Amino acid sequence: MTSALPRTLATLGGAALALGLLAGCGDDEPAAERPAPPAASAPTTSPSVTEETSSPSEEPSSGDPSAVPVYYLGRTPQGDRLYREFTQVSGADRLVAAAAAVTSGRPVDPDYRTAWPGGRLASVTKTADAIVVEVPDASWLEAGSLRPAQARLAVQQLVYTLQGTAGARLPVRVQLDGEPAARLLGVDASKGLTAAPEIDVLALVNVTEPAEGTVVGRTFTAEGRASSFEATVPWEIRDSSGKVVKQGFTTAEGWADKLYPWKARIDASTLAPGSYTFVARTDDPSDGEGAGPTQDTKRITVK
């Protein structure tokens, strides 16, 4: 990873979406999720986003109201888990835009992907007691080529994303032609779809700052959420050859039962300006005997 990615815009039925602000994970009671303010200036361009026609966590003290949280798949020692990346929305309903990013978007972080085969929902509406999604046709009710585990995680992608965007832990109800549907991607939706426990579906570490492609100063703040052994979150910076040029650790606010916030102040003053990779990971008490740590990487440019 030697350079920041170029940034462009894509449309969602006339609504512009610019992907690529922040990544992080959920917490207990959701307020509408917001990215933390950037630690330093971000690049002016981002990877292209393709859109077909078109958990949630506690709310940081400040942030961009036009950003929505989108959950994507990434590989971990526990198999595929969900990572969060914020998506910039302009001129679109937030729930509709967030759902479209899940089903047919392209994340900025190249380590992330969606489990959905593509397309878009017919509508997404928040009511007093649910988030109602209307599927465009009956094919959305079946798993198709997805294996059962993939289908379940795809559904969790959508549930975590919509609940985080709505700021409410509401069940997601599925409709077809205005009538209740009992399945989504082959997953039972007859009683409404709910978020699975964080510890079961989210990656055990996630970086909120710096975001993928961020330009950082000589010192910057790194932060995110994790569930790591004894709350220890090791971090490091690698140069373009992969060599570790800076490392340390910080302590999250808790561990074991869910993901907790962590934060570290990074002194990069000894590094030459250029392209690097910031890495945060879970602690590995097995010393390599087990499956290994979960990690999240972000390409950065030190100015």
- The string of DSSP letters for 235-284 reads EEEE-TTS-EEEEEEEE-S--SSS-EEEEEEEE-TTSPSEEEEEEEE---
pLDDT in tens, 190-248: 999 999 999 999 999 999 899 999 999 999 999 999 999 999 999 999 999 999 999 99
Q: Is the pLDDT of residue 129 over 70?
A: yes
CB 49 within 8 A of CB 19: yes
Q: Lowest mean pLDDT: which of 104-108, 151-155, 272-276?
A: 104-108
pLDDT of residue 152: 98
Q: Please, what's the b/e burial string for 69-86 (b: 16 or more CB within 10 A of its CB; e: otherwise)?
A: bbbbbbebeeebbbbbbb
Task: Enumerate the β-bridge partners of residue 244.
Answer: 238
Give the strand pairing for 295-302 and 10-12: unpaired
pLDDT of residue 35: 60
Pairwise CA distance, residues 79 & 246, whole Å:
28
Confidence of residue 11 (pLDDT cuts 50, 70, 90): very low
pLDDT in tens, 226-237: 999 999 999 999
Q: Is the pLDDT of residue 298 over 50?
A: yes
Confidence of residue 87 (pLDDT cuts 50, 70, 90): confident
Pairwise CA distance, residues 237 & 301, whole Å:
11
Domain locations in the chain as residue ranges? 10-201, 205-302
Superfamily designation of domain 205-302: Immunoglobulins (2.60.40.10)
Q: How many C-beta atoms lie closer than 10 Å to residue 130's C-beta?
A: 15
pLDDT of residue 111: 97
Confidence of residue 263 (pLDDT cuts 50, 70, 90): very high
Confidence of residue 91 (pLDDT cuts 50, 70, 90): confident
How is residue 218 written in tokens?
């000589």
Q: Work out the percent of the chain whose per-residue pLDDT is above 70.
A: 78
Distances (CA, A) of 180 to 124, 172, 206, 293: 14, 11, 35, 42
Q: Max CA-CA distance within the chain?
A: 62
Amino acid at position 129, single letter:
D
CB 302 within 8 A of CB 39: no
pLDDT of residue 118: 92
Higher-confidence residue of 239 and 20: namely 239
Confidence of residue 38 (pLDDT cuts 50, 70, 90): very low
pLDDT in tens, 168-193: 999 999 999 999 999 999 999 999 99
pLDDT of residue 49: 28
Instruction: Name which of 298, 268, 256 is nearest 280 in CA terms.
Output: 298
CB 263 within 8 A of CB 223: yes
Distances (CA, A) of 292 to 53, 165, 277, 289: 40, 32, 19, 7
Q: Is the pLDDT of residue 251 over 60?
A: yes
CB 108 within 8 A of CB 117: no
Q: Is the pLDDT of residue 54 over 80?
A: no
Pairwise CA distance, residues 92 & 255, whole Å:
37
Confidence of residue 52 (pLDDT cuts 50, 70, 90): very low
pLDDT of residue 59: 35
Instruction: Name which of 18, 121, 119 is nearest 70 in CA terms.
Output: 18
pLDDT of residue 89: 86
Give the mean model confidence (pLDDT) for residues 15-32: 42
Average pLDDT, the chain: 83
Pairwise CA distance, residues 187 & 196, whole Å:
13
Give the strand pairing for 79-90 and 67-76: antiparallel
Q: Lowest mean pLDDT: which of 3-12, 34-43, 120-129?
A: 3-12
Q: Is the pLDDT of residue 21 over 80?
A: no
CB 70 within 8 A of CB 101: yes
Q: How many C-beta atoms lie closer than 10 Å to residue 152's C-beta?
A: 19
